[in-house]
Amino acid sequence: MITSIHNPRLKRIRQLLARRETRREEGAFVIEGVRLCEEAAAGGWEFEFILTAENLSARGQALARQMASRGIDVEAVSAELLNRAADTETSPGILAVLRFQELALPSSPDFLLICDNLRDPGNLGTILRTALAAGVQGVLLTRGTTDAFAPKVLRAGMGAHFRLPIRDTSPEDLRALLHQPDKPLVLLAADAEQGVSCWQSDLTQPLALAVGGEAEGVSPEVRAIADGTIRIPMPGGSESLNAAVAASILMFETCRQRSR
C-alpha cells in the first residue's frame, strides 16, 4: 500500500495531470473514476497501473478485481493521498495511468469534425462525447486546440476517447486528408454570422465540419482551405452560441439529413 505523497507513482501522476508535454513525451495519461476505467477496459486500452482507495464503490472494487485478474498492477492508496494526487477535488477512489493508443481513421471517411482553436477543456470534452453519439468518424484538432487528453477533457468526454479516433493536425495534413482522390470531402466552416443556413446546406455529401472557439471562431488558416461557411439561424437575436452547443446542432443536423 502506498503511504507517502512522495511515492514515485503519485509523483508521476501529478506530472502527467499537470503537463501536456509530459503526457506526449511519456505516451501516457491519467483517468479518474469508475466509468472512465470501465470504458477504457472495454475498449482494450493498455493500463500501466491502477490505484484504488478505501472509499471506492462496490462497482469500482469489482472492476479493480477484474483488472487484477487480467494481470494489471492494482495498488492500494489512502483516500487522503489519492485526493492530493488527483485532479478532482474529491477523488472517486480509483485512478489509472494508461498508454496512448491511436485509433485508426476509416480509409475513406465521409463525416469528420475539425476542432479549431478550441481552448476550453469542458467544451472540447462535450464535443467529443457528442461526436461519438452523432456517428462522427474522427475528430481532428488544430494546433491551437487544448489537449484532448487533459484531465478535464477526459472527464467531459465520458469515455468517447476510447472509441473515437482523435488526431492532432496541421492545415497541410488537413488539406491532404480532405482532397483524397478516391473520396474528397467538402469542408464547411461554422460561422456565427455568415454562410448558408445549416437547414439549407447539403450535409449528406462526404463532409468535414470545422468549429472554432467562441472568441475568434474558425481560424484564417482553416477558412483558407474551406469550401464554404455554414451558420445556425438564431431568430432570437443572440450573438453566438456556446461552441459545444453549436457543434452539437451541426452534427445532429447532419445525422437528420442523412437519415432521410
Look at residue 22 and tell me whether its pLDDT is greater than 80.
Answer: yes
Confidence (pLDDT) at 260: 80
Assess contact for 113 and 130: CB atoms under 8 A: no
Q: Are 194 and 233 in contact (CB under 8 A)?
A: no
pLDDT tops 90 at residue 193: no
Domain ranges of the chain: 8-99, 111-259
* pLDDT at 154 > cutoff 90: yes
Which pLDDT value is given to residue 182? 82
Stated pTM of the model: 0.94
Cα dist from 119 to 20, 27, 135, 150, whole Å: 13, 22, 23, 11
CA 59 from chain centre, in angstroms, equals 25
pLDDT at residue number 185:
96
pLDDT in tens, 203-245: 999 999 999 987 789 999 999 999 999 999 998 877 778 999 9
Question: Which CATH number applies to 111-259: 3.90.1170.50, 3.40.47.10, 3.40.50.300, 3.40.1280.10?
Answer: 3.40.1280.10
CA dist 36 → 60, 97, 174 (Å)? 11, 11, 30
- What is the C-alpha separation between 223 and 203, in angstroms, rounded? 18
Judged on CB neighbours under 10 Å (0-12, 13-18, 19+), 69 is exposed
Mean pLDDT score across all residues of the chain? 94
| 8-99: CATH number | 3.30.1330.30
pLDDT at 231: 95
